Chains A and B, each alone.
Chain A
Amino acid sequence: AQKITQTQPGMFVQEKEAVTLDCTYDTSDPSYGLFWYKQPSSGEMIFLIYQGSYDQQNATEGRYSLNFQKARKSANLVISASQLGDSAMYFCAMREVGSSASKIIFGSGTRLSIRP
């Protein structure tokens, strides 16, 4: 069965510093996708970045990058040059590619707080 684990309930980071949010996963499916979503205090879910299990390179989207270590089954999110607006909950998620649109499961989240 698929599982997502986020071991950091909360983190405090100084503005402009880089931050790494941890995510490990477990699946027996060789084909899967990994996602990160951001949930600010307003409550909406915002897609940040995607990594496919067969992608050769780590995904990057602006200040976001995904440190994908397949052998260790980890998919950490790295935010460079953090900003006050980065303060939010961050969720790691995974889909096993058994069908074209199977469900995505989420981790428990990490609450990131950026200090000015």
Chain B
Amino acid sequence: NAGVMQNPRHLVRRRGQEARLRCSPMKGHSHVYWYRQLPEEGLKFMVYLQKENIIDESGMPKERFSAEFPKEGPSILRIQQVVRGDSAAYFCASSPLGTSGTGANVLTFGAGSRLTVL
């Protein structure tokens, strides 16, 4: 029963290039969340998606960043024209479908993708 799978684990890009980060949620989970963590800081919420729907993108920068979670395949976080300030660890987390509104909907995290922009 594989956990949340993220790849690549490490990605190096030059300024102006594109970065694509992939996340496969746990089996049976249809909610995906993306977080960004700068060095020595906490996790900042970016976006919450369900299959084929963006539910909450209040934490996404207005430009260059996009996310999708297609019907088939992993969720993708895409960063266009990367800049040095995009260097961070990007974590994906998933939670199961149909959890009641009790709040006890624990997020299971992947190991993270560490983006370095040269």
**Cross-chain contact B42 with A106 (CB below 8 angstroms):** yes
Q: Closest CB of chain A to B103's CB: distance in Å?
A: 3
With contact pairs A50-B106, A109-B42 given, residues A100 and B111 touching in the complex (Cβ less than 8 Å): no
Complex interface residues of chain B between 15 and 50 (CB less than 8 A to chain A): 31, 33, 35, 41-45, 48, 50
* Residues A67-92 near B (CB distance < 8 A): 91
- Give the CA-CA distance A97 to B8 in the complex, in Å: 33
Partner of B102, one of A33, A91, A105: A33
Q: Is the CB of B43 within 8 A of A106?
A: yes
A12 on the interface (CB 8 Å rule)? no
In the complex, what residues of A have CB within 8 A of residue B109's CB? 37, 44-47
Q: Scan residues 46-93 of chain B and give those whose CB is less than 8 A from a CB of chain A.
A: 48, 50, 55-56, 58-59, 89, 91, 93
Question: How distant is the Cα of A83 from the Cα of B42 in the complex, in angstroms?
Answer: 23
CB pair A47 B99 closer than 8 Å: no
CB neighbours (8 Å) of A102 from chain B are 48, 56
Please measure, in the bound complex, the distance between the C-alpha atom of A104 and the C-alpha atom of B58, giving whole angstroms: 12
Name the contact of A101 in the complex, choosing from B99, B108, B110 (C-beta under 8 A): B99
Cβ of A50 and Cβ of B43 under 8 Å apart? no
Contact A105 B108 (CB under 8 A): no
A47–B105 Cα distance when bound, in Å, is 11
Residues of A bordering B, CB below 8 Å: 31-33, 35, 37, 43-47, 50, 52-53, 91, 95, 97, 99-109
Residues of B within 8 A of A (CB): 31, 33, 35, 41-45, 48, 50, 55-56, 58-59, 89, 91, 93, 95, 98-112, 114
In the A-B complex, the 8 residue pairs with the smallest Cβ-Cβ separation, listed nearest first, are A33-B103, A45-B109, A97-B103, A106-B43, A108-B42, A106-B42, A101-B31, A100-B101
